[in-house]
């Protein structure tokens, strides 16, 4: 073998070794990349699974409210007011109505009145979701505002409401419940207050949403029910 042939052979051998080392590096890099990519997919899948399995944020407490007086534990003042259902509604006649299997409660909804369309939307949405309120032992709902009864009859018919709307034009009942302290119209109208009464007339839960600074005139029903459940559970009266 000539000197030139030996040099050519060494060159080919060196090139072959370099190619082998390069191929080894490529395989190693590809393997590492595959492992890294697999790890990323695993982490992403784990994160996604954790996100899907994580509980939703509770609905209770998302809409701030005050608790006026009379509050939980107090006896509810009497109510006898003209009703859109006809005649005069006496609160005492409502307590205990419903199935005999659970103590039927009454939900009072003090609201701003005819000028507040969100208040009426609130009532319509409550009527559309009555099963949630019945699950909390509520057998009757009445709403109270300071508008005259004739105007309320027209509004109730227009909105196709079945809930009795009570007229309290001189605020005698509204003041007894201090429901006129939480509206944007001063003390001349009610705000947006909910009060749950037990069948013996004891106040179990109260939420006055309509006060400053937000003057809430509408609470989504799921949030309202969540607040009510939490409040009743805290009072040991969850139903």
156 backbone dihedrals φ, ψ, rounded to 5°? -60, -40
pLDDT tens for each residue of the chain, 239 residues long: 566 556 655 655 555 555 445 444 433 433 443 333 333 333 333 333 332 323 344 789 999 999 999 999 999 999 999 999 999 999 988 865 554 444 589 999 999 999 999 999 999 999 999 999 999 999 999 999 999 999 999 999 999 999 999 999 999 999 999 999 998 888 999 999 999 999 899 999 999 999 888 889 999 999 999 999 999 998 887 66
Domain extents in the chain: 1-54, 80-234
The three-point CA angle 93-134-95 to 5° equals 15
Name the nearest CA neighbour of 129 among 3, 53, 45, 228. Answer: 228
- Six-digit token pair at 53? 């399995």
- Six-digit token pair at 144? 């109270």
The three-point CA angle 79-95-227 to 5° equals 90
Class in CATH terms, 80-234: alpha beta
Cβ atoms within 10 Å, residue 30: 10
Contacts of 169 (CB under 8 A, 6+ apart): 146, 147, 148
Q: What is the pTM of this model?
A: 0.73
DSSP strand pairing (88-90 vs 192-197): unpaired
Query: Are the beta carbons of 187 and 180 closer than 8 angstroms?
Result: yes
């Amino acid at each position: 073998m000539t000197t030139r042939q030996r040099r050519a052979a060494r060159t080919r051998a060196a090139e072959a070794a370099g190619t082998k080392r390069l191929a080894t590096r490529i395989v190693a890099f590809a393997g590492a990349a595959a492992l890294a990519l697999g790890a990323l997919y695993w982490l992403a899948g784990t994160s996604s699974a954790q996100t899907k399995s994580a509980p939703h944020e509770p609905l209770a407490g998302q809409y701030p409210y005050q608790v006026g007086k009379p509050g939980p534990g107090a006896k509810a003042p009497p109510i006898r007011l003209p009703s859109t259902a006809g005649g005069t509604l006496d609160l005492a006649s409502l307590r205990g109505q419903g199935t005999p299997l659970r103590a039927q409660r009454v939900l009072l909804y003090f609201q701003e009145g005819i000028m507040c369309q969100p208040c009426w939307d609130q009532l319509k949405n409550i009527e559309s979701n009555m099963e949630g309120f019945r699950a909390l032992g509520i057998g009757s709902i009445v709403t109270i505002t300071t508008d005259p009864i004739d105007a309320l009859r027209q509004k109730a018919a227009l909105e196709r409401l079945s809930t009795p709307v009570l007229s309290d034009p001189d605020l005698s009942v509204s003041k007894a419940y201090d429901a006129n302290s939480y509206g944007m119209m001063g003390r001349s109208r009610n705000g947006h207050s909910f009060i749950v009464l037990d069948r013996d007339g004891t106040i179990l839960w109260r939420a006055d949403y309509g006060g400053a600074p937000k003057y809430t005139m509408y609470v989504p029903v799921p949030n309202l029910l969540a607040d009510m459940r939490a409040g009743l559970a805290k009072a040991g009266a969850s139903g």
